[in-house]
Structure 1
């Protein structure tokens, strides 16, 4: 949804964060989608998405910024 802006404002950082969390939980296709999306992002944006994924997981999915 966030990658395409489907029903929400398009946000590559949030999309990358979501794919990263799903990939960490074993969803293989999410890993591919995350890596593909990262090619269209700045290194700073990728770092922010990774930081947000850590915060989200560490908070028990309570602080994810959806």
Structure 2
């Protein structure tokens, strides 16, 4: 099950699946810039925009954001 919205925040490193990669399940790793899904959960994953500009649904959180 993909992570909940409460588990995702800007600065986290995550693996996402982009729209064009959904049939193959190919994952893209990046840093969350913005959360695009407003609901607390989504069956296919919370949609985010990465710092690279790529948009996709979070499948896994890789590492927490660095602390102060």
**TM-score, structure 2 normalization:** 0.23
The structure with the greater share of residues assigned to helix is 1
The structure with the greater share of residues assigned to strand is 2
